[in-house]
């Protein structure tokens, strides 16, 4: 693969999101002249050959699953490219935001809108189930709300074909805590009714603004297996509760649920769903014999997707979340106005430019006339609701993932239209350097243009459970390389002081 280009035709433009085992790019298909999303599989260091083979198999499985599906509610796969001994998935580029981001930013949804989202997702699931495919990771982060009004189910990375051997081994579960059906937590492969449960949990979060089960991973697993099904307020409450019935045999038929959701979406009353007859010992379920293993689970690896990440759970005796920053804050306040004035060297500060990026909330300040800008982003893996829900362990993994990823590319296509760099240009990366005096751990690097003149300094640091990226850029000829580095460092130091002072 040439720098910045895949298979000689997909020009990688900018990263859209990253997690422990993957990165998603916005790219340009130069042959068909269209923008696409490219999912790059990256593998953590220290994996055994067997684990690496399983991770690649999982990615190929996603491609195979997606290729068989043609539905407006399922993200379309365009191409699969194998380069550098791993697959790259080329998919349609979705513009909008995930349901998870929408819930985070705007809170609970009206019942009619949530009903429409639920019906669209369930119809997409029914199309997959008709092909013998289970999604196995339905959650708010895997439901995408496009700008055109489409509701799209993404990330079939752990989809399972009926009759196909599962990648899950004893002590290793695949899914997202709080959105995994009880029978899957018990080690059973589940079925379409298991996806129904996960969709019910997703709708509960949409209706209330919070997941049905909260707390550490162990607490969420325990609650899923032992607590009564919660009932959301409003007309969808009984429907969602039925979808989340503990026994999969007690959950209603998908067809009937779609009809009920469509009725509420149209402004009508919620119909009563018939209760299926439940056998005493339903097939495919059992007792809670594996709970002792599962309640001690902790999240250890993240697989990035276009808007989501799949979690692999490993057995661990320490299931407690690390202490850290847990109260969300406005990212635009992380660098004070006084500091910004000094960094940008202007008394007339530009307006804040917040953005709810998939990789985490960010804010930028740009001076187009000076070709200068500062940006800061508090990053998250794609499965976590917001950065303040990260644990210290997951933040460390995300930090190391970023460090590994940036070390692999010594050049990239770079642009920042807001400061005047509207055309993509080649940028060379300097070697990564550790910055031991910054936060708990930090590294940085610089970017230089075709003439060799440095224009950007980039710093990524970790403080407790937060991973933060800071960038300073100037297109002016005056600042020296050291001046550019120092301004980025000053911005990073200012944000750390804000965090440690409690915002």
Relative orientation angle of helices 192-208 and 111-130, to the nearest 10 degrees: 160
Closest C-alpha among 83, 79, 153 to residue 121: 153
User: Residue 480: which residues within 8 A CB-CB, separation 6 or more?
Assistant: none
Residue 492: predicted pLDDT: 95
- Digitized pLDDT (tens) for each residue of the chain, 503 residues in all: 444 888 889 999 998 876 545 688 999 999 999 999 998 877 666 677 777 777 777 667 667 666 778 889 998 888 888 787 777 889 899 999 999 999 999 999 999 999 999 999 999 999 988 887 888 889 999 999 999 999 999 877 544 444 333 333 333 345 688 999 998 888 777 889 999 999 999 999 999 999 999 988 888 988 999 899 999 999 999 999 999 999 999 999 999 999 999 999 999 999 999 878 665 433 333 333 322 233 333 222 222 222 233 232 222 323 333 347 888 889 999 999 999 999 999 988 999 998 876 678 899 999 998 999 999 999 988 667 788 888 898 899 899 988 988 888 788 778 888 898 888 788 899 999 999 989 999 999 999 988 888 999 999 999 999 999 999 999 998 889 999 999 999 999 999 999 887 65
Q: Provide DSSP, 257-272.
A: HHHHHHHHHTT-PPPP
Closest C-alpha among 159, 412, 434, 186 to residue 287: 186
Residue 1: predicted pLDDT: 45
Tokens representing 394?
């997951």
What Å distances lie between residue 151 and 117, 135, 243, CA to CA?
6, 16, 20
The residues assigned a catalytic role are: 137
């Amino acid at each position: 693969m040439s720098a910045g280009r895949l298979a000689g035709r997909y020009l990688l433009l900018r990263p859209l999101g990253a997690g422990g085992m993957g990165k998603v790019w916005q790219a340009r298909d130069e042959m068909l002249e269209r923008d696409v999303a490219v999912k790059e599989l990256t593998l953590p260091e220290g994996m055994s050959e067997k684990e690496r083979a399983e991770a690649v198999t999982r990615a190929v499985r996603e491609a195979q699953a997606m290729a068989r599906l043609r539905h407006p509610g399922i993200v379309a796969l365009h191409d699969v490219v194998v380069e550098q001994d791993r697959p790259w998935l080329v998919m349609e580029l979705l513009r909008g935001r995930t349901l998870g981001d929408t819930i985070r930013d705007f809170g609970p949804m009206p019942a009619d809108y949530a009903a429409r989202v639920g019906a669209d997702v369930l119809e997409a699931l029914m199309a997959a189930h008709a092909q013998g495919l289970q999604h196995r990771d339905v959650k708010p982060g895997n439901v995408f709300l496009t700008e055109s009004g489409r509701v799209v189910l993404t990330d079939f990375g752990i989809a399972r074909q009926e009759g196909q051997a599962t990648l899950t081994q004893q002590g290793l579960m695949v899914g997202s805590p709080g959105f995994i059906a009880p029978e899957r937590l018990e080690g059973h492969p589940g079925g379409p009714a298991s996806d129904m449960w996960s969709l019910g949990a997703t709708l509960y979060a949409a209706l209330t603004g919070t997941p049905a089960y909260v707390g550490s991973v162990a607490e969420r697993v325990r609650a899923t297996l032992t607590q009564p099904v919660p009932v959301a307020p409003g007309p969808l409450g009984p429907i969602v509760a039925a979808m989340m019935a503990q026994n999969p045999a007690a959950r209603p038929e998908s067809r009937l649920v779609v009809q009920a959701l469509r009725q509420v979406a149209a402004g009508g009353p919620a119909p009563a769903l018939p209760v299926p007859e439940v056998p005493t010992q339903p097939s495919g379920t059992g007792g809670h014999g594996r709970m002792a293993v599962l309640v001690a689970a902790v999240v250890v690896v993240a697989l990035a997707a276009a808007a989501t990440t799949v979690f692999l759970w490993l057995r661990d005796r320490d299931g407690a979340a690390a202490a850290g920053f847990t109260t969300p804050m406005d990212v635009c306040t992380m660098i004070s106005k006084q500091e910004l004035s000094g960094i940008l060297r202007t008394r007339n500060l530009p307006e804040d430019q917040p953005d709810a990026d998939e990789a985490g909330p960010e804010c930028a300040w740009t001076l187009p006339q000076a070709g200068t800008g500062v940006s800061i982003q508090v990053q998250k893996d794609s499965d976590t609701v917001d950065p303040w829900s990260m644990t210290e362990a997951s933040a460390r993994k995300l930090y190391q993932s970023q460090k590994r990823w940036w070390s692999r590319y010594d050049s990239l296509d770079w642009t920042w239209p807001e400061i005047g760099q509207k055309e993509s240009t080649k940028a060379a990366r300097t070697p990564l350097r550790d910055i031991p005096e910054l936060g708990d751990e930090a590294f940085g690097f610089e970017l230089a243009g075709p003439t060799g003149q440095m224009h950007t300094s980039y710093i990524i640091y970790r403080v407790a459970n937060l991973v933060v990226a800071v960038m300073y850029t100037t297109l002016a000829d005056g600042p020296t390389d050291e001046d550019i580095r120092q301004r980025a460092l000053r911005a990073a130091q200012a944000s750390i002081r804000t965090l440690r002072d409690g915002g």
